[in-house]
């Protein structure tokens, strides 16, 4: 927080940036609030300031006079030449842009792009940009990777707009695309400058990328925030505060979930299907069925690794239980594994109206007709229907397969069904142990000389030198201090005691580390715990 007179303005810094910003005092421990930091954080801050001071001493100030005058002059001329060329290019682009906006209709802009087999964007501004680029530099040839779509200019790159498959987008991008002459058909010759237009081959220039690295991560990036109702600081409304948090990178959640809440949804069958509990109708409604008797319920999913999309969509058609004449279509959507999302419940007076609405939403989200769902085909940028099995059949089959592949000794008892997290977690841990034991066993099987003790044989096969550290040494004391100071406050129910410390030197590791020696000042502690069965595999 920077104070200027009676005004306060909040600024966020990385620690290293703050130390070099000019706002940091020469002795950082005099900074207000420093004493409220944890001891380990205080030490980290002091160490960072010391490292920065050392770097500043080592790094001499750049002396521009050292550079040869002729070399500086040549570089400067090249930069000025590029700047002049970029200015000329910009003038040509904007003149063409203005002429098109003034004399050519929106329909004609679309027609020019379609005639030259170019991508047609939405919005007048985007259309003008696309036609200007194509007329000045040439029409864009199809994508050389997927060969089934045209390119478009966006964010300083020409990128493919197509899907490589029904599951994934094409990732092709370039600054030097293949161009073909742009053509103006005779039907547009009523516009004077279009009639006189002749294609001239040009190469689009780009300003050099800045050396300044822009901070991509915002303060609240990857954080989900719930904003309570009512007025907030400085009289801001919930909506205003939510918008400010979004600018800082936060995701606004519509629900507040306390840590103590159960994360498993309990459902119950009614008429052979499950009514979504979030609809609020699970006690008074049943899932409708179509003409073939199929329950009208669907769970959809969509993942896009390029856009960072990981979404779900649930859809159900419901009817009131016996004696009622109400019908609903329930929807729920959001991002998997988060509280982001929402729900919608629409009421209908007739069953046919609810059925039509359900089928229309299903078609919109998946690109498939409900009646053809048995022949479902994945459509690019649309949801994919996920198959659900509420019964024990799937669990029974997978449990049987697991016990067949990994034999267990149950005696005369029936093997238990793998139907809960605790049991599955236990089995996963068992498999990890088996994998590590297999590695240790393979080492044990390797024979050695008859005169050598078996323990020495196996130790030698590790190809690792283990040396117990002297408990009176400075390094041992420092490790004890690290263990004490870095113990998280959230783990206050126990304490750790250092019994022994071993110096580990693996074969050839020192030589491999030499290439990273220059970065040794940039390091952090890593605490890693593991069971003894894993030690051989780790070493």
Q: At what angle do helices 454-461 and 421-445 cross, to 10 degrees?
A: 110
What CATH number should be reported for the domain holding residue 397?
1.20.142.10
In terms of Cβ atoms closer than 10 Å to its own Cβ (0-12, 13-18, 19+), residue 523 is: exposed
Identify whether 172 is part of a domain: no
Same domain, 376 and 291: yes
**Residue 44 shares a structural domain with residue 81:** no
Residue 213 confidence (pLDDT): 47
pLDDT-flagged residues of the chain (< 70): 1-16, 20-22, 38-40, 51-76, 148, 209-217, 230-235, 254-269, 271-272, 306, 388-394, 436, 438-450, 518-522, 533
Q: What's CA 212's distance to the chain center, in Å?
A: 24
Predicted model pTM: 0.45
**Do the domain assignments include residue 157?**
no
Instruction: Assess whether 520 and 467 both reside in one domain.
Output: yes
Residue 276 sits in the same domain as residue 248: no
Residues 309 and 369 in one domain: yes
* pLDDT one-digit tens code per residue, 154-173: 888 888 877 777 777 777 88
Same domain, yes or no: 102 and 186 = yes
Who contacts 313 (Cβ-Cβ below 8 Å, separation ≥6)?
Answer: 299, 300, 301, 302, 331, 332, 333, 365, 383
- HSE, side-chain direction, 13 A CA sphere, residue 397: 4
Domain that holds residue 425: 393-445
Judgement on whether residues 464 and 525 belong to the same structural domain of the protein: yes
Structure-block tokens of residue 334: 């959001």
Indicate whether 168 belongs to any domain.
no
Q: Are residues 90 and 123 in the same domain?
A: yes
| Residue 175: closest CA among 203, 139, 214 | 203
CATH of the domain at 501: 3.90.228.10
CATH for 185: 1.10.20.130
The dihedral over CA atoms of 157, 160, 164, 166, expressed in degrees to the nearest 10, equals 110
pLDDT value at residue 206: 86
Are residues 479 and 523 located together in one domain of the fold? Answer: yes
Q: For position 491, what pLDDT does the model report?
A: 75
Paired strand residues for 179? 140
Number of H helices, E strands in the chain: 14, 19
Assess if residue 411 is contained within a domain. yes
Q: Are residues 284 and 225 in the same domain?
A: no
Q: Looking at the structure, tell me whether residues 368 and 405 fall in a common domain.
A: no
352 shares a domain with 276: yes
Residue 366 is predicted with a pLDDT of 93
- Domain contains 523: yes
Q: For the chain, report the end-to-end CA distance as a whole number of angstroms.
A: 47
Answer whether residue 463 is part of any domain: yes
Of 417, 413, 423, 386, nearest in space to 400 by CA: 417
**How many independent structural domains does the chain possess?**
6
Start-end of H helices in 377-453: 393-405, 421-445
Burial of 320 (C-beta count, 10 Å sphere; 0-12/13-18/19+): middle
53, part of any domain: yes
The H or E element containing residue 112 is helix 106-115
For the CA atoms of the chain, what is the radius of gyration?
34
DSSP E strands, 269-364: 269-270, 273-274, 285-287, 297-304, 309-320, 327-335, 341-348
What is the C-alpha to C-alpha distance for residues 321 and 327, in angstroms, rounded to an integer? 10
Could you tell me if residue 225 is inside a domain?
yes
Q: Looking at residue 268, what is its pLDDT?
A: 66
Q: Could you tell me which residues are beta bridge partners of residue 157?
A: 154
Kind plus residue range of the DSSP H or E element containing 4: strand 2-4
Q: What is the dihedral of CA 243, 246, 247, 248, to 10 degrees?
A: 130
């Amino acid at each position: 927080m920077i104070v200027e007179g009676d005004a306060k303005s909040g600024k966020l810094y990385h620690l290293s940036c703050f130390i070099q910003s000019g706002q940091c005092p020469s002795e950082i421990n005099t900074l207000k609030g420093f004493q409220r930091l944890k001891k380990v954080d205080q030490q980290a801050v002091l160490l960072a300031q010391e490292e920065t001071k050392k770097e500043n001493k080592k790094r001499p100030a750049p002396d521009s006079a050292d550079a040869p005058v002729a070399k500086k002059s040549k570089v400067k001329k090249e930069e000025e030449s590029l700047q002049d060329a970029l200015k000329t290019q910009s003038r040509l682009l904007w003149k063409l842009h203005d002429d098109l906006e003034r004399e050519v209709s929106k329909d004609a802009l679309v027609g020019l792009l379609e005639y030259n087999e170019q991508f047609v964007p939405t919005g007048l501004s985007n259309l003008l940009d696309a036609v200007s680029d194509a007329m000045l530099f040439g029409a864009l040839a199809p994508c050389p990777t997927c060969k089934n779509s045209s390119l478009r200019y966006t964010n300083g790159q020409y990128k493919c707009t197509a899907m490589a498959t029904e599951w994934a987008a094409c990732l092709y991008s370039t600054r030097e695309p293949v161009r073909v002459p742009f053509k103006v058909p005779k039907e547009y010759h009523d516009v004077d400058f279009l009639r006189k237009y002749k294609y001239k081959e040009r190469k689009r220039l780009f300003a050099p990328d800045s050396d300044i690295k822009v901070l991509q991560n915002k303060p609240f990036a990857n954080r989900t925030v719930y904003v309570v109702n009512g007025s907030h600081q400085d009289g801001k409304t919930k909506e205003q505060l939510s918008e400010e948090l979004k600018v800082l990178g936060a995701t606004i959640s519509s629900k507040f979930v306390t840590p103590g809440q159960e994360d498993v949804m309990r459902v119950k069958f009614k008429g052979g299907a499950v009514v979504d509990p979030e609809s609020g109708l699970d006690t008074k409604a049943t899932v409708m069925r179509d003409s073939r008797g199929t329950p009208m319920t669907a769970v959809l999913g969509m993942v896009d690794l390029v856009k960072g999309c990981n979404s779900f969509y649930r859809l159900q058609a419901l009817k009131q239980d016996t004696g009622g004449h109400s019908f609903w279509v329930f929807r729920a959507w959001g991002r998997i594994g988060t509280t982001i999302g929402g729900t919608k419940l629409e009421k209908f007076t007739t069953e046919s109206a609810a059925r039509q609405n359900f089928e229309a939403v299903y078609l919109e989200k998946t690109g498939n007709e409900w009646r053809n769902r048995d022949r479902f085909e994945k459509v690019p940028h649309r949801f994919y229907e996920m198959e659900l099995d509420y019964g024990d059949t799937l669990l029974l089959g997978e449990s049987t397969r697991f016990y067949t592949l990994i034999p267990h000794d149950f005696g005369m008892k029936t093997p238990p069904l793998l139907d809960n997290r605790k049991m599955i977690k236990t089995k996963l841990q068992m498999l990890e142990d088996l994998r590590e034991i297999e590695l240790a066993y393979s080492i044990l099987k390797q024979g050695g000389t008859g005169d050598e003790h078996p323990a020495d044989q196996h130790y030698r096969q590790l190809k690792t030198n283990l040396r117990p550290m002297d408990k009176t040494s400075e390094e041992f004391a420092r490790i004890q201090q690290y263990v004490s100071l870095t113990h998280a406050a959230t783990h206050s129910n126990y304490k750790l005691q250092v019994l022994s410390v071993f110096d580990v030197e693996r074969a050839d590791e020192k030589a491999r580390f030499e290439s990273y020696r220059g970065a040794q000042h940039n390091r952090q502690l890593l605490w890693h715990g593991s069971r003894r069965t894993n030690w051989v595999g780790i070493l």
